[in-house]
């Protein structure tokens, strides 16, 4: 008797589509929205890394003076590239090696990023490579805040990126902290 009932159940092809839809549709919607959230977070993360590299490369190629408004403009470009995020925080710092010690030549922060000083250099010293006396390196640090569009297990997160570049065409990148653009 049990084998006959089991065989009859196994061969039965009748179903209640409405009932199955009620069970499966919420899971499909959750999976679709969840994959959107995770892929969107991955997109913002990858784009923020690439944009940080782009900004660092732009600064490393400078042969003329970089002004504070240039860095603010680069931050705006990064926000445009990353898309749909609150203002990007960015700090650009040129660090040199003087008598075997790292020294901050200049630093500038945008959108709440604090400048880096010699007294606070220990915060980033673990990122710095070995350098010879007189060498300089530019450190670009960015923070991109990401808040997922739906609450499906992924909370708000800050993507922090750091990129080090050497000045390409000169020994250093000159900086002026004047933040008023010229009238041209």
Does residue 1 fall inside a structural domain? no
| Cα–Cα distance for residue pair 8/12, rounded to 1 Å | 6
Q: Whose structure tokens read 């660090």?
A: 95
| Tokens encoding 117 | 């000083």
Does residue 88 fall inside a structural domain? yes
Does residue 4 fall inside a structural domain? no
Does residue 5 fall inside a structural domain? no
Predicted pLDDT of residue 103: 94
Does residue 2 fall inside a structural domain? no
| Cα–Cα distance for residue pair 61/55, rounded to 1 Å | 10
Predicted pLDDT of residue 19: 75
Predicted pLDDT of residue 86: 80
pLDDT less than 70: residues of the chain: 1, 15, 179, 181-184
Query: Is the distance from CB of 151 to CB of 39 less than 8 angstroms?
Result: no
Q: Which helix (H) or strand (E) holds 161?
A: strand 157-165
Domain span at 105: 16-176
Predicted pLDDT of residue 183: 66
User: CB under 8 Å to 149, separation ≥6 — which residues?
Assistant: 36, 37, 40
Does residue 8 fall inside a structural domain? no
Query: pTM of the full predicted structure?
Result: 0.80
Predicted pLDDT of residue 34: 87
Q: Is 147 left (phi over 0), alpha (psi -120 to 50) or beta?
A: beta
HSE at residue 28, side-chain half, CA atoms within 13 A, is 6
Does residue 11 fall inside a structural domain? no
| β-bridge pairing 157-165 and 66-67 | unpaired
Does residue 102 fall inside a structural domain? yes
How many independent structural domains does the chain possess?
1
């Amino acid at each position: 008797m049990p084998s006959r009932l089991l065989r009859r159940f196994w061969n039965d092809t009748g179903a209640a589509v409405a009932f199955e839809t009620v069970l499966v549709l919420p899971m499909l919607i959750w999976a679709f929205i969840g994959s959107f959230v995770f892929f969107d977070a991955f997109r913002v993360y990858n784009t923020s890394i690439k944009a940080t590299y782009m900004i660092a490369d732009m600064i490393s190629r400078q042969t003329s003076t970089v002004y504070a408004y240039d860095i603010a403009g680069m931050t705006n470009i990064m926000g445009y590239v990353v898309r749909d995020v609150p203002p990007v925080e960015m700090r650009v710092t040129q660090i040199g090696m003087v008598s075997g010690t790292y020294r901050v030549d200049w630093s500038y922060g945008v959108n709440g990023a604090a400048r880096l000083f010699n007294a606070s250099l220990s915060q980033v010293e673990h990122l710095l490579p070995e350098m010879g006396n007189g060498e300089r390196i530019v450190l670009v640090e960015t923070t991109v805040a990401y808040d997922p569009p739906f609450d499906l297990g992924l909370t708000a997160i800050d993507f922090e990126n750091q990129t080090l570049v050497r000045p390409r065409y000169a020994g250093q990148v000159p900086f002026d902290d004047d933040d008023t653009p010229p009238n041209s």
